[in-house]
Structure 1
Amino acid sequence: MNSLPAPITIIRPQIIEFGVGVAGRLGTWAVAQGYRRVLVVSDAFNASRVNLLGLQGAITLFADVRPEPDTHNLDRLLEVANSADAELIVGFGGGSAMDLAKLAAVLAGSSQSLQDVVGPNKVAARRRVGLAQVPTTSGTGSEAGIRALVTDPETQAKLAVESIHMLADIAVIDPGLTMTVPAATTAATGVDAMAHCVEAFTNRKAHPLIDLYAIEGVRLVGRFLARAVADGSDAEARAGLSLASLYGGFCLGPVNTAGGHALAYPLGTRWHVAHGAANALIFPHVLAFNSPAVPDKTAAILAALGFAPAASQEAVFDAAHGFCHTLGIEMRLSALGVPKDDLPVMAGDAFAIRRLLDNNPRDLSQADILSIYEAAY
């Protein structure tokens, strides 16, 4: 674990608008910047309410963002982006829309392809267009980060791009936009936001400058997630979750996630389990597995969620599992359509995600990963 003197770089959007009702401030900002041609990257539902952003000028809508988008989805977006010749690209939706918007901002009109930029710091030049992010869920924190993920349909692997050139010029976070999110999705994405914070807090790269956001993000989820699930129109609860998600995004840049996300990814790439649901199902298992390596931080996480200190790994698991189960989240792989005979293949896929597993506070062998999948089955 890193100490206080360890070097760290903090990167976040220059402008962050936060609060119920601020969505229309994007249009005001865009006009002030002189943007006349705008491409909005969204799913079909959010495309139907793009007027809430107050955008003016020639607006092109790409409304075909898919959950867990793959390279084909990105290729279709890039065709639209090249045709639109936009001056501003807006990601309007969940993490999938925002990640595709980031990639379009640096690849449209560029001589580089996706394969050229996979990995850290491979985007060759500053982007030519503005980039704005407007989240409509409270989970990914992608509005604040410099990473984007897209799935390779041939290998079923996540391709991760990281570049300062994908940092948004402005992030507009209006919790009112999340009030239409169904209870089950609210629960799963809320635990995903918490997982970002927990995995950063317990990370081998953990740093006190990020710990502050991480543990507060966990507290916000512990305080507000059940309320938002019970009443989607609870403005204070929705704002609390939006802030937790933003804090999770702050954690991702300088520290990133670890074992939990590595184990969750194959559920999405191979069996199309929603990212939030996958992370929620895996979360208690990895928290308990890691607890011997980070006992004090595990105790702080449980306290932030309202639980007493746990005396054993089993007690850690029971508390975290109970938190997720009480929210109505499905906590069995078998109930999500994952066949048991695929668990060893999934374990191999997860074990190969070294960019995350190497951050984990306790080494996870392929056998450990398989054991976790079997316990979750």
Structure 2
Amino acid sequence: MMTGRVVFGAMEEVVYGQPAAAALAAQLDRIGAQRALLMVSGTLNRTTDEIAKIKDALGGRCAGVFDAMPAHTPRAAVIAATEQARAIQADIIVTVGGGSITDGAKAVQICLANNILSAAEIDRVRNINAPVAPKVRQISVPTTISGGEFSAIAGVTNEATRVKEKLAHPLTMPRAAILDPAITLHTPEWLFLSTGIRAVDHCVEAICSREAHPYGDAQALRGLAMLAAGLPRVKADPTDLDARLDCQIGTWLSMGALSSGVPMGASHGIGYVLGAVFDVPHGHTSCIMLPAVMRWNKSANRDRQALVAAAMGHPGEDAGDVLDALIRVLGMPRSLREVNVGPEHFERIATQAMGTPWVPRNPRPIEGPAQVREILELAA
């Protein structure tokens, strides 16, 4: 008889297929927020009118704009955004951008609630289960599809150690997510498609987990099917808003298992290190590592991998090969050497990956750095 535990996240609403500006105004009406800090993509703010449209829709409820969050969410930028949120007495944070901005706002929530005043003080709240609960919450409009807006975990990079560290509280999950396919038209193609493979990675590692459960499977399998069909359609026609929305909804579903307690595996764990140490974009880490991890794991979870191949429309085929083919169709990098990571780096990556939350929970047990190196060799 199965036993288990499913955790439900703190998100209240997902709004999809509606223009972001109007949907955000409606959300602020719903929750009664009056002083919003907009944490937004600098490129979107400087080169498009999307942020101006949102500011116009919010009117006097837009109390400030922060548009200086670099990739991988460094501590210094988190503190800068926290200082601005504190100075304007923000009562809601609205993010418009990719995963680094989404994670940045989650970290700001924790820093505000725990009176964190400097980058060094982030040590007080990292990797612990119960910091003081955020009171200033978040609404997210994602422009990429890695899915961080559906998670209560923030990854923040410690610039001194080049390590991505976890900040988490159940209430850092945004109160609402707004999925507007039109706003993603400004996202560079490589970024949209590669973060789509990040979402595929969420689905696949959830399905293949030793801790998978039916609730998570239902979402991950459907999400994987939508992403596997939708991403090539976006590649073929970048203006196809229906395909983009399918990818956004597939991404939402991809996070269902993770946000309900199913752990990720070695692809995510190794990806953390590649991002923090070598500045490899998150999406590219999944493009490179996921097929290799699947091949290394196959002896331990062949039956679960069969579900992956079937959900992607290729029943009976090798899941690693099916994933490899999808990633190649999208024109994404497929090897570590393509992102300037060579065998001379493998020892450091393998050692550091053992300290991530996910490598120890890989479906085929990883006992030490030597086995991580085996996976890295497959991805070389």
| TM-score (norm. length: structure 1) | 0.92
1:4-23 alignment, distance < 5 Å? 4-23=2-21
- CA shift, 1:180, in A, is 2.1
Q: In the alignment, is residue 50 of structure 1 matched against residue 51 of structure 2? A: yes
CA contact (8 A) 1:206 1:255 kept: yes
- CA shift, 1:278, in A, is 0.8
Give the aligned partner of residue 229 of structure 1: 235
Aligned length: 368
- CA shift, 1:120, in A, is 4.5
Give the aligned partner of residue 39 of structure 2: 41
CA contact (8 A) 1:180 1:232 kept: no
Unaligned runs of 5+ in 2: none
Give the aligned partner of residue 64 of structure 2: 60
Give the aligned partner of residue 361 of structure 2: 359
**Alignment equivalent of 1:153, drawn from 135, 159, 167:** 159
CA change 1:178–1:256 in 2 (3 A) is farther
Q: In the alignment, is residue 373 of structure 1 matched against residue 376 of structure 2? A: yes
- Give every structure 1 segment of 4 or more consecutive aligned residues whose post-TM-superposition deviation is greater than 6 Å: none
Q: Deviations over 1:156-212 (max 9, x none)?
A: 221112211212222111122212222222221111001011111111221111110
1:55-94 alignment, distance < 5 Å? 55-57=58-60, 58-94=62-98
Query: What letter corresponds to residue 235 of structure 2 in structure 1?
Result: V
Give the aligned partner of residue 217 of structure 1: 223
- CA shift, 1:308, in A, is 3.6
Secondary structure of 2:299 counterpart? coil
Give the aligned partner of residue 98 of structure 1: 102
Query: What letter corresponds to residue 218 of structure 1 in structure 2?
Result: L
**Alignment equivalent of 1:137, drawn from 137, 140, 144:** 144
**Alignment equivalent of 1:272, drawn from 253, 273, 279:** 279
**Alignment equivalent of 1:299, drawn from 306, 313, 321:** 306
CA change 1:233–1:4 in 2 (3 A) is farther
Output the CA distance in 2 between the equivalents of 1:259 and 1:299.
19
CA contact (8 A) 1:202 1:297 kept: yes
CA change 1:163–1:109 in 2 (3 A) is closer
Query: What letter corresponds to residue 379 of structure 2 in structure 1?
Result: A
- CA shift, 1:21, in A, is 2.5
Q: Which has the higher helix share?
A: 2
Give the aligned partner of residue 350 of structure 1: 353
Unaligned runs of 5+ in 1: none
Query: What letter corresponds to residue 178 of structure 1 in structure 2?
Result: T
CA change 1:120–1:248 in 2 (3 A) is farther
Output the CA distance in 1 between the equivalents of 2:183 and 2:344.
40
Output the CA distance in 2 between the equivalents of 1:145 and 1:280.
21
Secondary structure of 1:131 counterpart? strand
Secondary structure of 1:292 counterpart? helix
Output the CA distance in 2 between the equivalents of 1:22 and 1:4.
42
Secondary structure of 2:182 counterpart? helix
Give the aligned partner of residue 329 of structure 1: 332
Q: In the alignment, is residue 108 of structure 1 matched against residue 109 of structure 2? A: no
Root-mean-square deviation (CA, aligned residues, Å) is 1.8
Output the CA distance in 1 between the equivalents of 2:113 and 2:308.
45
Moved more, 59-68 or 251-260: 251-260
Query: What letter corresponds to residue 94 of structure 2 in structure 1?
Result: V
Give the aligned partner of residue 25 of structure 1: 23
Give the aligned partner of residue 175 of structure 2: 169
CA contact (8 A) 1:121 1:164 kept: no
Give the aligned partner of residue 118 of structure 1: 126
Query: What letter corresponds to residue 183 of structure 2 in structure 1?
Result: L
- CA shift, 1:359, in A, is 2.1
Give the aligned partner of residue 252 of structure 1: 258
Query: What letter corresponds to residue 51 of structure 2 in structure 1?
Result: V
| TM-score (norm. length: structure 2) | 0.91
Give the aligned partner of residue 283 of structure 1: 290
CA contact (8 A) 2:142 2:179 kept: yes
Secondary structure of 1:56 counterpart? helix
Give the aligned partner of residue 317 of structure 1: 320
- CA shift, 1:218, in A, is 0.8
CA contact (8 A) 2:17 2:179 kept: yes
